[in-house]
Amino acid sequence: MANLKEIRSRIGAVKNTRKITQAMSRIASARLAKAQSAMERAREYGDRMRDVVQAAVGEVDDVAAAHPLMTVRPEVTAEAVVLVTSDRGLCGGFNTNASRKAVRLLEDGAREGRKVVAICVGKKGAAFLKHRDFKPVLAIDAPTPETVVSTSREVMHKVANMFLGEDEIAVDRVHLVFNKFKNVITQEVVDEGLLPVDPGTAEGEAGAAVRKYEPDVAAVLDHLVPVSVETQLQQAFFNSAAAELAARRQAMDSATDNAGELIDELTLLYNRERQAAITKELMEIVGGAEALKG
C-alpha cells in the first residue's frame, strides 16, 4: 500500500504541475498579441527612419564622411557583441540558442586575433556568457515596454562611445544578436550589424518632391544617425519580447501535453498495482480458507 500511496502522490504533483503550465501558456498567449502589435509599430517606425536616413545620405557626396558612426574601418582589431535575451527561463531554447550564437561570434573573433567584448541585455544571456568566461562589460535587465526607450538609449550611448573611441574599450565593429519573431511557431536567431551604420541605398521615386533640409543635411544626419541606432535596438527588443512569449507558450503547451501523458502512465501503473494488491489479498483469503478446511 505504501507503493500505491507514493504513486497517488506523484499523480497529484504532476496534476498540479499541469495546472501551472496551462496557466503560464494562457498568460503568454494573452500577452503575445500585445507584444506583436508593439513589434509591428516599431518595425513601421524603423522602416520609415531607415528611408529618411537613406534619403539624407543620398544628398552628400562622401558617404563615409556623412557621420562618424557610418565609417567602415579598413581593419577590424576589436569588436563587440550585443546579446539580447530574457530575464526568465521556461521558454524552451529561446535564451540558449541566442547565447550560443553570441559565444560563437566571440570565440571566432578571439580565434582570429581580435579583441572581443560582450554587452548583455537580459539576465539569462549574461549568466550563459559568464559560465563560458566571457564577462560582459555591460549587463542590463531585459527591458519592459515602459523601459525599452531608456534601455535602447543606454546601450546606444555605450556602443557609440566604444566605436568612436570615447570609451575605455574601443571597438571597430558591433554585432547585434537576438531572436527575431517570425510567427507564433518560429523564432529565428539573427546576427545584425549594428555599427558601423549601413545607410543602404535610397530608392528613387518617379516624380518625388525635392527635399529640403534645415539647417543642412549634415545637421540632420548628426541627429538622425544615433536615433537610427536606437531604433534598431528597439526593434530588436520588441522582436525578442514577442519571440520570448511565443517560445514560452509553445514550451508550456508541450509541458502540459507531457504532463498529461505522464498522468495517464501513472494512472495505469496505479491501477495495475491496485489490482495486484487486491489479487494478492484474495489469494491469501482463499489460501486461508483452504487451510481451515484441511
What's the per-residue H, E or C state across 86-144?
CCCCCCCCHHHHHHHHHHHHHHHHHHCCCEEEEEEECHHHHHHHHHCCCCCCEEECCCC
Task: Tell me whether residue 111 is in a domain.
Answer: yes
Rg of the chain, C-alpha, whole Å:
29
pLDDT tens-place string over residues 113-127:
999 999 999 999 999
Q: What percent of the chain has pLDDT over 70?
A: 95
Q: What is the pLDDT of residue 201?
A: 61
Task: Tell me whether residue 239 is in a domain.
Answer: yes
Q: For 251-255, what is the mean pLDDT? A: 96
- Report how far residue 219's alpha carbon sits from residue 112's, in angstroms, rounded to the nearest whole number: 38
**Amino acid, single-letter form, for residue 73:** R
Task: Tell me whether residue 5 is in a domain.
Answer: no
State the total domains in the chain.
1
Grid cell, residue 25, equals 501558456
Q: What is the pLDDT of residue 217?
A: 86
Q: What is the pLDDT of residue 294?
A: 61
Q: How confident is the model at residue 200 (pLDDT cuts 50, 70, 90)?
A: confident
pLDDT tens-place string over residues 51-74:
888 888 888 877 667 889 999 999
Task: Tell me whether residue 158 is in a domain.
Answer: yes
Q: What percent of the chain has pLDDT over 90?
A: 74
pLDDT over 70 (residue 85) = yes
pLDDT over 50 (residue 207) = no
Q: What is the pLDDT of residue 249?
A: 95
Q: How confident is the model at residue 9 (pLDDT cuts 50, 70, 90)?
A: very high
CATH number at 192 reads: 3.40.1380.10
Q: What is the pLDDT of residue 4?
A: 87
The dihedrals phi and psi of 77, each to the nearest 5 degrees, come to -105, -15
Least trusted range by pLDDT, from 133-147, 196-210, 213-227, 248-262: 196-210
Q: What is the pLDDT of residue 64?
A: 67
**Amino acid, single-letter form, for residue 6:** E
pLDDT over 70 (residue 202) = no
Q: What is the pLDDT of residue 206?
A: 41
Q: What is the pLDDT of residue 66?
A: 80
The more confident residue out of 3 and 178 is 178
Contact (CB, 8 A) for 141 and 123:
yes
Task: Tell me whether residue 183 is in a domain.
Answer: yes
**Amino acid, single-letter form, for residue 91:** C
Range of the domain at 234: 26-202+212-250
Local structure of 176: helix, strand or coil: strand
Residue with cell 579583441: 115
Task: Tell me whether residue 230 is in a domain.
Answer: yes
Q: What is the pLDDT of residue 237?
A: 97
Considering only the C-alpha atoms of the chain, give the largest distance between any 2 of them, rounded to a whole number of Å.
116
Q: For 207-228, what is the mean pLDDT? A: 81
Q: How confident is the model at residue 2 (pLDDT cuts 50, 70, 90)?
A: low
Task: Tell me whether residue 168 is in a domain.
Answer: yes
Task: Tell me whether residue 106 is in a domain.
Answer: yes
The more confident residue out of 208 and 116 is 116
